[in-house]
Amino acid sequence: MLLPSVLRTVVPLVAGWIIVALTHLGFSLDSNMAQSAVTLAVAGAYYVVFRLVERTAEKVAWPAWVKGAAGLLLGYARPPRYKPTDDVTELIRQSRS
């Protein structure tokens, strides 16, 4: 399903933008390019942190709500599942379903 993948990409970007907009992270952002770079860095860090929490909760047998909460903070409670394949055509077809 495409929607979970889109949500899990867009939500961290929006969260990064909000975090930077609210805190300015100690930077004086004079240009849009600098603000965009910081926003993308924060969004990337946001995604990595919550994805690691999600995977750790799965492997260490933390309570299920921890994994669910981390997933929700990424925009969708469960990570997308893809069938393993080396066939590029099949991967494209899966991404469109």
More confident residue, 46 or 20: 46
What pLDDT score does 8 carry?
Answer: 77
Measured in whole angstroms, how far is the alpha carbon of residue 36 from the centre of its chain?
17
Output the average pLDDT for the chain: 77
Task: Give the pLDDT mean for 14-34.
Answer: 71
Q: Is the pLDDT of residue 3 over 80?
A: no
pLDDT band at 12 (very low <50, low <70, confident <90, very high): confident
CA–CA distance, 38 with 49 (Å, rounded to integer): 16
User: Among 7-11, 50-54, 72-76, which stretch is predicted with the lowest mean pLDDT?
Assistant: 7-11
Q: What's the CA gap between 48 and 5, in Å, rounded?
A: 15
